[in-house]
Structure 1
């Protein structure tokens, strides 16, 4: 996937609004290819075969009793064309052996003032050596961190990402970044009117059905399954769709005969030890991306935009919230945060989903009213989705350019 500049489709260069947006303002930008990664500036890093790696370490540090050597890289400044109040970073990385990556962000406001560098993630594929984590708070200047979301209430006009690559000192196992990006947004207080059905009508993708509820009580150290595992269960359904689930060797620690053991594995591999949960959005796409090819977090403006992905053969994991009675046919009465898979649309435009809250796999497939689900999604998370896809399913063209 190439780097895109969504602002070009929505605003003239330099056009910045300091007021609360009346419409959804969304901008996703990523660096993917070797040429794109080389536009950043590194200290002790190199780009080879499309991947950012350590070349010559420039510093050492001690973490959890282990000494690591590291190198850093900064992205170019990104200007979305409007004053944004939230940022969600996502990445695809490899962390062999005892190595890890850190992702930080800083912003610049309309007066030119810069924030400090805030830590968004300390991440490794496995938890063998490092407990992957975020760092909530950090409200020291212009912004703060809420798990996976960087918030700047007064607005920022540009941002920079920083990647730190670290490995155990004295080893040659080399962590690397394949893709790094972020979605920024300024959203209205309420969702827009229900979108009209579009190009996804009548298309339903054959996404396998896994229930989070059958895992209730599994592995208390990773939140014990059940209602806590909607995100890794949804991510696993999408990986199953691409035939990219982990093999038995990966989850050999799960007892033989356990139903859908790849869900237990995904919960462990996405668990955020600071947040104390497996629902961290970019941790889920970072887990999925190397398995299938591509994965990132973005926001969409409507189900009509989601339909373009369904037409391209790409299911989406969507983050929703709703109160009792606000989502007819849902297997749970209400939730402050839940993830499910948008698998398709009926001819009338209603939404066919794989809802992992179904008590059994046969109860996972459901159809929700378009207006109700769109409100639960846009009002709940501002339209957050995991976009996970392989080379055989390239991204659809974007009329707005926000992915």
Structure 2
């Protein structure tokens, strides 16, 4: 996250933006820090998250050289490879041969015909292995999409450089880093179903294999909106979550998105990972300059870095990083209200949320941003949001209280005005959820209430 406004990689619905401008909304609407309440009814569900996690789920897929495995965390692995292929890493120029196997999910019909879809996964990739996730679907007019690469990923960076893939489009939809998007949502075209395909890779002649425990995608159709209905406060509770500032790391390891000033996503991830007990060993941190405080944040930045996007804010890469810690899983989804966040907090589950705003739109922030991640850790008795905001001068200053009405609007809207007065995009409720691989009954109930199983 940079405190300066800059073009967002997620500004993709240009026709919808033009329509919003034509409707008469203008920059003056965003000039005030206060957002008027609205009497609009609660919106219908706007997102559908589906994941494959159980042994039965993995058995339901089509395999070529892969097989399902049982255990405390069922998954899919390489059995007898389907073949060998060469891969030239675009970021190193290195070409190497890899054995591979594939697993393809059954078709999932979306309960919300969608303008966007984001895949996420949890996996173990020992040295000498990596994986690719692809998505293919059917449009509302019955025609198919291509197979789109949603990510090439490894927990480490010694075999390949983890990467998104630019330039994927069929003229009707495109992939923007980690997000499938319909190019012109105003036409009514939607994604109505999809399949996910895993390709598992390993060095030839070895018995190594990636193990994938969770694979899913969130499809959504969030209506264009500059404001959202006000929710009613329903919880006063605060979770004790470690506090880390990204600003402490400014200038460190500039090869990873110019250093800590842009590390809001991995800093937020590391806070919640440690809340759940995830710890890095001295050996894992030995590469970090010993003079640097909180070396685990530097580590998180390196191991969430997307070499194509040239940043640490790839949403699925952060969720996958969290799941490399024993006993944790992570997903990317969309929530519909602060009530959803209250449900999670009440069960002890903090969330990482993505939002963008002008300095005047969030009282107490002291900055504006075209994209920023922070962790929601609770609510005050008045219903205001308690957040660990990594865009703070030091760790002690990370805990913030933000006005409920302002905060929910900047998080849930899909359209906003930037510092130049131009219409820009909002994230529409995107969040990362990290939680135990074996959640309690109460945690399962809370996750199910927000559509995550």
Q: Same fold (TM over 0.5)?
A: yes
How far apart are residue 142 of structure 1 and its match?
3.5
Deviations, residues 308-351 of structure 1 (Å, cap 9, x unaligned): 110000110000100121001014x2101000000000011100
Match for 1:197 among 227, 233, 239?
233
In the TM superposition, residue 242 of structure 1 has moved relative to its aligned partner by: 1.3
For 1:381, which of 427, 443, 448 is the aligned residue?
Answer: 427
Structure 1 counterpart SS, 2:445: coil
Displacement after TM superposition at 1:89 (Å): 0.4
Secondary structure of the residue that 1:381 maps to in structure 2? Answer: coil
Match of 2:445?
Answer: 396
- Is 1:69 aligned to residue 99 of structure 2? yes
C-alpha displacement of 1:99? 0.9
Describe how 1:204-215 pairs up with structure 2 within 5 A: 204-215=238-249
Q: Are 2:122 and 1:88 aligned?
A: no
Greater mean alpha carbon deviation, residues 115-124 or residues 217-226: 217-226
Q: CA deviation at 1:392?
A: 5.0
Contact between 1:24 and 1:301, CA under 8 Å: does it hold in 2?
A: yes
Instruction: Answer yes or no: is 1:100 the counterpart of 2:124.
Output: no
Question: Structure 1 residues 180, 398: CA separation in 2 closer, same or farther (over 3 Å shift)?
Answer: closer
Query: Is the CA contact (8 Å cut-off) linking 1:340 and 1:356 kept in structure 2?
Result: yes
Instruction: Give 1:51 deviation, angstroms.
Output: 1.4
CA distance in 1, matches of 2:54, 2:448: 23
In structure 2, how many angstroms separate the alpha carbons of the residues matched to 1:43 and 1:141?
Answer: 30
| Aligned CA distance change for structure 1 residues 34 and 155 (closer, same or farther; 3 Å) | same
TM-score, normalization: structure 2? 0.81
Q: Is the 8 A contact 1:321 1:376 kept in 2?
A: yes
CA distance in structure 1 between the partners assigned to 2:393 and 2:101 by the alignment: 47
Q: CA RMSD in A?
A: 1.6
Structure 2 Cα separation of the partners of residues 165 and 82 of structure 1: 30
Matched residue, 1:253: 287
- The answer to whether structure 1 residue 279 and structure 2 residue 313 are counterparts is yes
Q: Deviation above 4 Å: which 4+ runs of structure 1?
A: 398-401
Deviations 1:63-119 (A, max 9, x none): 232100101111111112232110010000111121101000011023321111000
Indicate if the aligned counterparts of 2:335 and 2:450 stay in contact, CA closer than 8 A.
no
Return the alpha-carbon distance in structure 2 between the equivalents of residues 386 and 83 of structure 1.
22
Task: Name the residue aligned to 1:349.
Answer: 383
Query: How big is the shift at 1:224?
Result: 3.0
Cα shift readout 1:151-189 (whole Å, capped 9, x = no counterpart):
124211101101000111122211121100011000111
Instruction: Choose which of 327, 332, 337 in structure 2 pairs with 1:302.
Output: 337
List runs of 5+ in structure 2 lacking aligned partners.
1-42, 88-93, 414-425
